[in-house]
Structure 1
């Protein structure tokens, strides 16, 4: 086996094992312990995070930040991955902000010069535009970790009635129109809610004895089909013009409710939590004549009331 091939396989082996002894690697690769030690030194010099453990049962261990083995990309695949990451620059806050920046720099640096030239030519000719928001969302990482690890998060949340402490268990986080949202189970309301991440003044792992809810099978793709635990749901339906369809297609919540007709118009049909009526009323007011709400009557009356308040405000 050539040295370059052995180093590549050794990198994959130590990433898989995480903890190992030099002798077992020497036996596995059929080389001397001295050769393995030299190879490990070379891996360490190119960035594989290893450290040695002393004592009779010592050996080597890979740190938490493992280095993945090289992956071969075609030129078009490399350009696609670069711009997928490059588009994230429009967001001031990301759950992996530092890591995405360093990964993008590494990716760009190690590309052949002609591919870098091609990317440089494309930077000002291709973009995935997202509204740039000035508001802060500094707790994305802990919310995402809470969703993955099934942790209860204690947040200080700003609502209309002021800032209050809430215990939530996140399902995940998503971005829409430059804003970050966190669907979660709210232990105060005993139901699912969608929280604006920029309205969180603090967030930390809850250290009380609050028992997490089993949300392992609930994620961003199916959360609306699971249903709400203890909250009254009411049917909602609305007619949409073509422009109304376009506006609703950009909303995450509408995916399970939107139906597009052959002529390009559409309709929204589905159950909504009664407490979310103010949210839907504000959204539909923004669509103007491109939507006509058919039910529930309470939503229609809320729209009328809000419109009267707007008229009075400018009266």
Structure 2
């Protein structure tokens, strides 16, 4: 029995390689007969692994997807990577349950590796708002099935609205999850914070997937995300060439002349805008809004007082 179990643990990684395996090749790899391979495949099926078999000269075995999740077999590096990822993923209940299950079965040698990694890492408190796994799963399923999502949405200023959206992609940006989709009511592309969605049932009609906005989703998000999703938006004139600024900040940089450029920047607060601009270490002027100028005056007074106190 122990020999059979050990052979199953050698057979499973071979099947997980996402390729078709002729029975004769599996038998050679395992040092057994093709009849033994068939019996071992039947044992894996009994454990919940959906192993598909094709007959004929081009046939073989392939591990497919089933209705339920069977037991997983991870090598040492994979087990450590998954454990660390769960440790740093936040406090979402599903993550904590998975971490608890995995931690209980880790061998001692792997617990030591995980402990060493945890001791050498610093997890900064920068987690964004949590999004239930069920929400991400439902949105992903609607994208794959090309079904219109119906949901209630709360914008950053607290305004509520009901939306019907053809979902295009889920995007992890910074500390948040976003949905990018075609808003059927507004006839335009929109981005939505996933933590502000209240999904309605059932989904709406099916649709044909559109080409990504601007032909390039990454470029679109880089240009539009700050404007549409972050409430604090500023326009500044920097006394430096655009080439000296571009790539150093997540904002839209437009040349004015050979010695200056315009920076459109968005963030969670005016303090972060001030910090980012200060890190550029170039002279600048605030073009808008006046609220940023007022905040800079407060900060400059505070910094000046700190200098005078020396």
User: What TM-score results when the alignment is normalised by the length of structure 1?
Assistant: 0.54
Q: Which residue of 1 aligns with 2:289?
A: 300
Q: Which residue of 1 aligns with 2:151?
A: 155
Q: Give yes or no for the alignment of 1:139 onto 2:124.
A: no
Q: Distance in 1 between matches of 2:71 and 2:221?
A: 36
Give SS of 1:172's match.
strand
1:162-201 maps to which residues of 2 (within 5 A)?
162-174=160-172, 176-177=174-175, 179-201=176-198
Deviations along 1:262-302, one digit per CA (max 9) or x if unpaired, are xxxxx8736x9xxxxxxx4x74534475449857x5x4257
Q: Which residue of 2 aligns with 1:285?
A: 270
1:96-135 maps to which residues of 2 (within 5 A)?
97=94, 101-102=97-98, 105-106=101-102, 108=103, 111-120=106-115, 123=118, 126-131=121-126
Change (3 A) 1:66 1:202: closer
Change (3 A) 1:121 1:217: same
Q: How many residues align?
A: 253
Q: Distance in 2 between matches of 1:103 and 1:181?
A: 25
Change (3 A) 1:209 1:144: closer
Deviations along 1:236-264, one digit per CA (max 9) or x if unpaired, are 54559xxxxxxx98xxxx636479xxxxx
Q: Distance in 2 between matches of 1:173 and 1:237?
A: 28
Give SS of 2:161's match.
strand
- Within the candidate set 263, 279, 284, 1:269 is matched to 263
Change (3 A) 1:6 1:116: closer
Return 5+ residue gaps in structure 2 as ranges. Answer: 54-60, 229-233, 240-246, 255-260, 278-282, 297-310
Q: Distance in 2 between matches of 1:27 and 1:122?
A: 39
User: What TM-score results when the alignment is normalised by the length of structure 2?
Assistant: 0.55
Give how far 1:303 is off: 5.5
Q: Distance in 2 between matches of 1:286 and 1:196?
A: 22
Give how far 1:116 is off: 0.8
Change (3 A) 1:294 1:46: farther
Give how far 1:87 is off: 0.3
Alpha-carbon RMSD across the aligned residues, in angstroms, is 5.3
Q: Distance in 1 between matches of 2:63 and 2:114?
A: 38
Give SS of 1:171's match.
strand
- Within the candidate set 200, 203, 208, 2:205 is matched to 208
Deviations along 1:189-221, one digit per CA (max 9) or x if unpaired, are 333332122221215574325443233997764
